[in-house]
Amino acid sequence: MTTFQILGRVCLRPDHGPHEALDVKGVKARALLVTLLLRAGTTVSLDRLAEALWEEEPPRSAVANIRTHASRLRQSLDPRTPLLGTVGGYELQVDADRCDHLRFLDRAAAGRAALEAGDPDRAATRLAAALALWQGDEAAVGVPRNGPLAAWLGHLDEERMRAVEDFADAQLQLAEPRSALRDLADLLAAAPLRGRAWELRMRAHHRLGEIDGVTAAYRAAEAVHRRELGTGPGVRLDALYRRLVNSVPVPVG
């Protein structure tokens, strides 16, 4: 059987044979595979596939080209993972446990549920396992986000960032603020407008007894919001900042 990886570069990992993951050759072939994986178990219409494969108006030969890419892709697949073609589209039949993005979403949801249930230890375990599936911070690297892929891949990227925040939240509850700060620093470097990440960063500094760190984080959030949006960081972050700098922290670690 084959495991499909799209949380990072797009590749196939056979259970037997070479240990190295096999890259999918060709941008259009990768886009076709990613589109089918994101809708695994359902038929994706030829029109929808054309929207995903071409940025502009698809060429008159689009359907023929899609069928050619599908034929080549089928040759790379394990026979137990059928790629079914119909008059109107294609369907990739693959088990959820063979798709890294579906395993990620399942583990991330389980971690979030544990966090909401007040079980940070279980949450941290599930979220760490979810994030370990990523080979970078962007899904389907190198695949143009045309048509439906923009929203579908954007959703995966957003869920990764939410999982990082959830994991940092669990770490704070487990009295591991330094670990939380490391993860949040990477997240905020890539996505500096995430309010929850700034809140968690301020709370982590507070848990460490670093009131100067709380202030520095707030000032950094304020600066980036002024620069990018022309506004302050918002009422919620303002209120948290005032509360933290006026309360006595109980340092840990």
Residue-range domain boundaries for the chain? 2-98, 105-245
* The two structure tokens encoding residue 76: 């790379």
- The class (CATH top level) of 105-245 is mainly alpha
Q: Which pLDDT score, from 0 to 100, does residue 2 have?
A: 81
CA triple 196-197-203, angle to 5 deg:
90
Q: Do domains 2-98 and 105-245 have the same CATH topology?
A: no
What gap in Å lies between CA 124 and CA 209, rounded to an integer?
A: 23
CA 73 to chain centre: 25
Mean pLDDT value of segment 202-228:
96
CATH architecture group of domain 2-98: Orthogonal Bundle (1.10)
Q: Which pLDDT score, from 0 to 100, does residue 252 have?
A: 62
**163, 111 contact by CB (below 8 A):** yes
For residue 242, count other CB atoms closer than 10 A to its CB: 11
Q: Which pLDDT score, from 0 to 100, does residue 230 have?
A: 95
Strand arrangement of the beta sheet that strand 11-14 belongs to? 2-5, 11-14, 22-23
In three-state secondary structure terms, 178 is: helix
List 14's β-bridge partners, or say none: 2
Lookup result for tokens 């089928």: 74
C-alpha distance from residue 13 to each of 17, 41, 61, 88 (Å) = 9, 20, 31, 29
Lookup result for tokens 């971690």: 111
Mean pLDDT value of segment 108-136:
97
The answer on pLDDT for 18 being more than 60 is no
The string of DSSP codes covering 25-70 is PSHHHHHHHHHHHHTTTSPEEHHHHHHHH-SSSPPTTHHHHHHHHH
Q: Which pLDDT score, from 0 to 100, does residue 19 have?
A: 57
Q: Which pLDDT score, from 0 to 100, does residue 123 have?
A: 98
Q: Tell me the per-residue pLDDT of 140-187, one tens digit each, with 9 for 90 and over.
A: 999 999 999 999 999 999 999 999 999 999 999 999 999 999 999 999
Lookup result for tokens 């980036």: 224
C-alpha distance from residue 40 to each of 37, 44, 125, 148 (Å) = 5, 9, 27, 14
The answer on pLDDT for 21 being more than 80 is no
Type of residue found at 72: R
The model carries a pTM of 0.93
In terms of Cα–Cα distance, which of 148, 103, 113 is closest to 7? 103
Name the DSSP class of 24: P
CA triple 136-141-142, angle to 5 deg:
155
Identify which has the larger pLDDT, 171 or 248. 171
The string of DSSP codes covering 181-200 is HHHHHHHHHH-TT-HHHHHH
The answer on pLDDT for 73 being more than 80 is yes
